[in-house]
Amino acid sequence: MTEIPHGLIKGVVLKRHDWTDRLFSLFVEAPINAYQAGQFTKLALLNDKGDWVRRAYSIVNTPEHIEGRERMEFLIIADQKGELSPCLQKLNSGDEIFVGKDASGFMTIDEVPKNADDFWLLSTGTAIGPFISILETPELEIRFKNFVLVHAVRTESELIYQQRIEQLSKRYNKRFHYVPIVSREYVSGALCGRIPSLLLNGELEKRAKLQLNKATSFLYICGNPNMVKDTSDALKELGFEKHLRRKLGQFSSENYW
């Protein structure tokens, strides 16, 4: 048996759920260390050449969820040109997988400035995963007054987690605003376009029924690098500043690619 690299531990696949022909959730059990909602860790496999192939994926569930923090969900898009994701898509219950023992990432509730009342979460594709984790955190409703979850995808079939979003809507009631965006087909109830443009023309605020406010709003941006850059530029154009530990701002971001 090839020696397991430092930082990885052995886990087992509990099940795989296919959302579309490329989009799937992998449920894994592994004794990783404590983590926070919104963080990510690595998944790894040995390839046919005996080399380790690994990549970071966000943990979709909160560590406090009912099945315990060692049971985790990862939302993955299979890239047929990729080395790892097509192999992950072939895994089934009982298969061996390797997981990073320590989670990483600063896109957590603790990093949000204490003065923020309105929590905006802007995502594309699989980047909705860490935001579901954050929104399902116990007692989050005490921390913020309003929540906006924006999910931009290409087709309606990629608007996943509808049942969990409905549960969030019931939990937060009128304080929760879900804004789906579909770019390649018309979907009733969804916006069409790109997040940066919808920010600049005011359509995003209109659909969310909540105004962005530099004094009370904080935004997390997570998705493909182009969206993250363009959305950051749009927010700067609107007068918002990037949040840094040494200098408080109104938005922070994480590339998810």
Residue 2 belongs to some domain of the structure: no
Q: Do 19 and 62 fall into the same domain?
A: yes
Both 118 and 171 in a single domain?
Answer: yes
User: How many separate domains does the chain show?
Assistant: 2
The reply to whether 120 and 247 lie within a common domain is yes
Domain end among 65, 81, 100 = 100
Is residue 155 included in any domain, yes or no?
yes
73 and 127 housed in the same domain: no
Residue 32 lies in a domain: yes
Given 100, 135, 151, the domain boundary residue is 100
**CATH (domain of 223):** 3.40.50.80
Residues 61 and 130 in one domain: no
Q: Per residue, what are the HEC states of the chain?
A: CCCCCCCEEEEEEEEEEECCCCEEEEEEECCCCCCCCCCEEEEEEECCCCCEEEEEEEECCCCCCCCCCCEEEEEEECCCCCCCHHHHHCCCCCCEEEEECCCECCCCHHHCCCCCCEEEEEEEHHHHHHHHHHHCCCCHHHHCCEEEEEEEECCHHHCCCHHHHHHHHHHHHHHEEEEEEECCCCCCCCECCCHHHHHHCCHHHHHHCCCCCCCCEEEEEEECHHHHHHHHHHHHHCCCCECECCECCCEEEEECC
Same domain, 155 and 207: yes
Rounded to a whole number of angstroms, the CA Rg of the chain reads 18
**What is residue 257's predicted lDDT score, i.e. its pLDDT?**
64
Residue 39 located in a structural domain: yes
- Which domain covers residue 219, as residue numbers? 109-255
Residues 96 and 121 occupy one common structural domain: no
Q: What is the pLDDT of residue 67?
A: 87
- 135 with 237, same domain: the answer is yes
In a domain? residue 78: yes
Has residue 247 been placed in a domain? yes
Q: Are residues 132 and 192 in the same domain?
A: yes
In a domain, 1, yes or no: no
Residues 36 and 13 in one domain: yes
Q: What is the pLDDT along the chain (257 residues), one digit of tens a residue?
A: 578 999 999 999 999 999 999 999 999 999 999 999 999 999 999 998 989 999 999 999 999 988 888 999 999 999 989 999 999 999 999 999 999 999 999 999 999 999 999 999 999 999 999 999 999 999 899 999 999 999 999 999 999 999 999 999 999 999 999 999 999 999 999 999 999 999 999 999 999 999 999 999 999 999 999 999 999 999 999 999 999 988 999 999 998 76
Q: Which residues pair with 140 in a beta bridge?
A: none
Both 202 and 117 in one domain: the answer is yes
Task: For tokens 């449920």, name the residue.
Answer: 27
Residue 92, domain CATH: 2.40.30.10
Last residue of a domain, one of 55, 83, 100: 100
User: Which residue do the tokens 């994701």 mark?
Assistant: 85
In the sheet that holds 146-153, the strands lie side by side as 176-182, 146-153, 118-124, 217-223, 251-255
**Domain-located, residue 236:** yes
Euclidean distance between CA atoms 80 and 87, whole angstroms: 9
**Which pLDDT score is estimated for 1?**
57
- Vertex 156 angle, CA 172 and 147, to 5°: 20
Of the candidates 174, 167, 168, 125, the residue with the CA atom closest to the CA atom of residue 145: 174
Q: Structure pTM?
A: 0.96
User: Do 145 and 59 share a domain, yes or no?
Assistant: no
